[in-house]
Amino acid sequence: MTTDEILARLSDGNERFATDQLNSDLQDSSRRKSIINGQKPFATILGCADSRIVPELIFDTGLGELFVVRVAGNIANKSSVASIEYAVAHLNTKVIIVLGHQNCGAITAASQGGDNGENLNHLLSHLKPAFEESKKTATVNDVAKINAKLTAKELIAKSAIIKNTVDNGNVIVVPAYYDMDSGKVDFG
């Protein structure tokens, strides 16, 4: 599949999800057994850990179709970048989606500031650039959109592996935003 075909497939799956027409293909025991010896996912998703944001459902995909990395705030830290590098270098996924979303708790927490303890402070520090880029009147959802865009750039800036494949035209990194009201994902 070309990158355009992959984006179309994600978009079509999202349309089915948003309109209650999930086909739920490739989720049965025969699919499960057919991929025991290897995976060939067609896209990589960097999404939030939020229980409401389930990429396999949002894009109506089956087992082995998406390589999904989830961390609160869909941030580019060393572990998430390394996981995506694996998908690009070893599984040859051509499309990386950074999926921000409506009402993100990580972004809300970051907007409130304060001391959240060592671990959460570290995670929230990754969201600072999105706040710096946002206007003071920006909503949590505005910041989520900006964060997805900045994180998409950050994946390229932080990883020679990702950067090389993007520069060679083999991989695209696409920021996206999921709206829970409509169920729709906007790309770009």
Task: List residues near Zn ion by CB under 5 A.
Answer: 48, 50, 104, 106
List the strands of the sheet with 185-187, edge to edge: 66-70, 43-47, 95-101, 172-178, 185-187
Coil, helix or strand at residue 106: helix
CB nearer to Zn ion: pick between 80 and 165 = 80
What stretch of H or E contains 121? Answer: helix 118-125
Both tokens of 147, joined, read: 């964060």
Closest CB to Zn ion among 100 and 171?
A: 100
* DSSP state letter for 74: G
Identify the three-state secondary structure at position 96. Answer: strand
Question: Min. distance of Cβ 35 from Zn ion in angstroms?
Answer: 29
Q: In this complex, which beta carbon is closest to Zn ion, that of residue 46 or of residue 95?
A: 46
Query: CA–CA separation, 30 vs 109, rounded Å?
Result: 43
Residue 130 CB, nearest distance to Zn ion (Å)? 12
Residue number with CB closer to Zn ion (41 or 47): 47
CB of 125 to Zn ion, least distance (A): 16
Sign of CA dihedral 5, 15, 139, 117: negative
Q: Which is nearer to Zn ion, 42 or 178 (CB)?
A: 178
Write out the two tokens for 123: 């995670």
In the complex, the smallest distance separating the C-beta of residue 43 from Zn ion, rounded to whole angstroms, is: 19
- Minimum CB separation from Zn ion for residue 163, in Å? 26
186 close to 20: Cβ distance less than 8 angstroms: no
